[in-house]
Amino acid sequence: MNEPTAQFERYRRQTILPEFGASSQQSLARSHALIVGVGALGCASADLLARAGVGTLTLVDRDVVELTNLQRQCLFDEADARERRPKAEAAAARLARVNAGIRVEPRVVDVTSRTLPRVLRDAGPDVIVDGTDNAGTRYLLNDAAVRDSVPFVYGGVIGTRGMQMTILPGASPCLRCVFEEPPAPGSMPTCDTAGVLGPAVAIVAGCQAADAIKVLIGRRDLVKPTLLEFDLWTSERRRLDLSAMCDPAARQRCPCCAKRSFEFLDGQHDDDAIKLCGKLAVQIASTGRECDLDQAASTLREFSPTRVSPSLLRVSLAGERAENGAPIELSLFADGRAIVDGTADPARARGVYAKYVGA
């Protein structure tokens, strides 16, 4: 069986859909989706888009795989968790085995106002899919999507509840039209305090992938200005009609799409030390300079550092004790970030980083 025939057979159940066809499949093959965050939502949506035949997927994530991820993050296995592999790399390796006919580009990087412009410039995506776990990054992505006129497929899950909407800049309300400001720190539950039900993730990711496919095959007319909300445990579901907000006059109050104020993208809400959701760990943001991991390994050789991957060096600091009595663990990333495991105190994390990295 030659290659074109084999590819046709792979996608046959999709191309025979009256709404789809071979031309739509060809459009998908030429398209590029950027998935920011390869956690529960990012894994599920990336899996669906890879299997659908989206030609290029760029996967961006700052984190590593842990055992607690496996309950809902469908691209990882126990070996990934044991090795604590970078999520973007582990997911890309899995998707390469799922569909060898597409390109999957992992980026182990923290998405901030400093790094996002380069990610977007390198990828040049046709759509941005939200797989993040925090409001700040979502508002940052919303800024970039509106500024660059790239469709943004928002989604969120916490506990048994989910939300999803798709933003078509210039044609539909943006995130700040609907939720003008992000919630105050500590005012909303997190995955650490409320948990996450895996099936709720599947529903939101399915809606995200469907809207992304509509965008990528040129059927934006099928993407409706609505906000889906549901609670899978109580069987409650509603879809809010946002069409009244589509009128430019109705969006005049929006600081982002009306006033063109991109305060998240401008770095006004950046924080150099962030406690990671669900972990006794703090991330130290990159200063914008990449880290030479070979040099770092040489500097920290007395602690026998482990090179987990080309983008990650991990070292256990025997002289630093975590809050549970175990040694503090320092993970250094090639993009210049670090994660200090064993403390939730940003000040202490900064101190450990300064002491051993010296920056």
Q: Which residues are catalytic?
A: 191
Across 295-333, b (16+ Cβ under 10 Å) vs e yields: ebbeebeebebeebbebbbbbbbeebebeeeebbbbbbb
CB-side exposure of 56: number of CA atoms within 13 Å? 13
3-state SS, one letter per residue, for the chain: CCHHHHHHHHCHHHHCCCCCHHHHHHHHHCCEEEEECCCHHHHHHHHHHHHHCCCEEEEEECCECCHHHHHCCCCCCHHHHHHCCEHHHHHHHHHHHHCCCCEEEEEECCCCCCCHHHHHHHHCCCEEEECCCCHHHHHHHHHHHHHHCCCEEEEEEEECEEEEEEECCCCCCCHHHHCCCCCCCCCCCCHHHHCECHHHHHHHHHHHHHHHHHHHCCCHHHCCCEEEEEECCCCEEEEEECHHHCCHHHHCCCCCCCCCCCCCCCCCCCCCEEECCCCCEEEECCCCCCCCHHHHHHHCHHHCCEEEECCEEEEEEEEEECCCCCEEEEEEECCCCEEEECCCCHHHHHHHHHHHHCC
Tokens 């035949």 belong to 53
Query: Measuring CA to CA, how many Å separate 320 from each of 111, 208, 356?
Result: 29, 43, 11
